[in-house]
Structure 1
Amino acid sequence: MDYDADATELLETYDFLMKYIIIGEAGTGKSCLLHHFTHNSFKDHSQHTIGVEFSSRTVKLGEKRIKLQLWDTAGQERFRSVTRSYYRGAAGAILVYDITSRDSFLNLSRWLADAKALASPHLVTVLVGNKSDRDEEREVEWAEASRWAAENDVHFLEASSLTGDNVESPFLLAARSILLSIESGALDPEKTGSGVSYGDRALRRVNSSSRLSFGSLSGGRRKGTVKLRVKKWLPGNKCC
């Protein structure tokens, strides 16, 4: 996939447009995770997001091209009233915590409650335990986070915005789940507030004789999952 072309081509065609929000406590690495997803590189010297920042990327699942509108929200309490207004009509939520910060994990319920109250009724949420490269500093075990995800009916995985390990998976997993809802008839892209709309290439009718094919979540970019560890965390990059 040509990432530069996807980022700059203004006249690109796509089948569906989906709105995502990236939420969670400040310092969990939300912006770094998003930057690695959109630019395929680590974001050096990242600063805390002020308010909301927007980016986008077009991905392909099977034969479907999907343009993701990505709203990166600030984690600080003082911006909460501003950022919550951007939750409205979101089809997907990437809920991020830091595996080395138990406080960021304990506050997940509040973030999820806000998203469910304000976003699309069919909101798909993926819980991401960021900074998996810092396993030696871990304060939240994978099993505990997995249980929380199951209890709250959300998807779960761990990723590293530093190494790039698993950074694509939450975005593609959410898109795949949303496409399945469209295929089943549970989600109507033409309904206001669904968080999804048809693109120029879209077929207006999806039925049992025209099944959606999603392909691999890895998008062919990575073969398998390789867990990398960085023994030293660079000063100034603690939020990522």
Structure 2
Amino acid sequence: MDSFWHYQFRIIMLGDSTVGKTSLLKRYTEGVFIDFINQTVGVDFYVQFVEVEPGVRVKLQFWDTAGQERFRSVTQSYYRNSAGGLLVFDLANRTSFEHVKNWHEEVMERVKPHKIIFILVGHKSDLVEEREVSVEEAEKLASTLGLKYIETSAKNNNNVENAFAVLTMSIYESITKGEITLREGWDGVKCSLTQMTESRSKAQKAPEQTCPC
């Protein structure tokens, strides 16, 4: 049962090096916080299973990308097969905040004409005294980019699960509305055989309610 799923969403973690992308993932998927983590080299993978509504189970496959420039060509190859992403910056590092637009533009340029559903995450909210980016600034940027904004702390486990839940539900709702559909050669969203069978059965009973699978 642990490995059973109806949908699989591929999600990419983006942001400068040391903003805490890996810390967020380890807290979410493993329930642990490690104060010092070696920088990601290339791309690491994490998996988590969630239930988005009663009886609908989603496998989240995370691509944890390296923020260093020398790995950019590697991480860029994962953009097109992502359904969603967390754009992460460090609340105590203004430069990482200023680079958010660059990350967003880089991804959106490479996935045209398709889109990736992003949320903006201000990480390390526990560093109150060292904070360099205000809530108002971050919310303004999120609004400009058309994104939801959430502040998190892997250390205090503040809003971590909520951040991933918001993104997962945003992707799922886009699927149910028909805004995201499966397309050949794209692995951002996958449906299990069981889900496809159930969807076809429903479609036969109610043709107007077709499923993206």
How would you bin the TM-score normalised by the shorter chain? 0.7 to 0.9
Q: Who is 1:149 aligned against?
A: 142
- State the AA in 1 paired with 2:53: G
Q: Who is 1:172 aligned against?
A: 165
TM-score, L = length of structure 1: 0.78
Question: Does the 8 Å contact 1:188/1:194 carry over to 2?
Answer: no
Q: Who is 1:17 aligned against?
A: 8
Matched, 1:37 2:28: yes
Query: For the residues of structure 1 that align with 2:87 and 2:59, how far apart are their CA atoms?
Result: 20
Unmatched 5+ residue regions in structure 1? Answer: 1-5, 211-240
Pair 1:118–1:171, CA change in 2 (3 A): farther
Q: Who is 1:160 aligned against?
A: 153
Question: Does the 8 Å contact 2:6/2:191 carry over to 1?
Answer: yes
Q: After TM superposition, where is structure 1 displaced by more than 4 Å over at least 4 residues in a row?
A: 205-210
Query: For the residues of structure 1 that align with 2:78 and 2:179, how far apart are their CA atoms?
Result: 23
Secondary structure of 1:186's counterpart equals coil
Q: CA deviation at 1:113?
A: 1.0
1:54-133 matches, cutoff 5 A: 54-63=45-54, 64-119=56-111, 121-133=114-126
Aligned counterpart in structure 2 of residue 136 of structure 1, from 116, 126, 129 = 129
Query: For the residues of structure 2 that align with 1:194 and 1:155, how far apart are their CA atoms?
Result: 24
Question: Does the 8 Å contact 1:23/1:94 carry over to 2?
Answer: yes
Pair 1:26–1:127, CA change in 2 (3 A): same
Q: CA deviation at 1:161?
A: 1.0
Instruction: Give the superposed CA RMSD.
Output: 2.3
Question: Does the 8 Å contact 1:89/1:118 carry over to 2?
Answer: no
Pair 1:119–1:68, CA change in 2 (3 A): farther
Q: CA deviation at 1:199?
A: 1.9
Query: For the residues of structure 2 that align with 1:40 and 1:33, how far apart are their CA atoms?
Result: 10
Aligned pair count reads 203
Q: CA deviation at 1:118?
A: 2.8
TM-score, L = length of structure 2: 0.87
- State the AA in 2 paired with 1:37: Y
Query: For the residues of structure 2 that align with 1:183 and 1:173, how far apart are their CA atoms?
Result: 15
Secondary structure of 2:89's counterpart equals strand
Unmatched 5+ residue regions in structure 2? Answer: none
CA distances 1:2-27 after superposition (whole Å, capped 9, x unpaired): xxxx9xx4xx2111000000000001
Query: For the residues of structure 1 that align with 2:187 and 2:37, how far apart are their CA atoms?
Result: 32
| Identical-residue share of aligned pairs (%) | 36
Query: For the residues of structure 2 that align with 1:77 and 1:15, how far apart are their CA atoms?
Result: 36
Secondary structure of 1:132's counterpart equals coil
Pair 1:186–1:118, CA change in 2 (3 A): same
CA distances 1:66-102 after superposition (whole Å, capped 9, x unpaired): 0011000000111111111111220001110000000
CA distances 1:128-182 after superposition (whole Å, capped 9, x unpaired): 0000011121100011100100110111100001111111122211111111111
Give 1 or 2: higher helix fraction: 2
- State the AA in 1 paired with 2:123: N
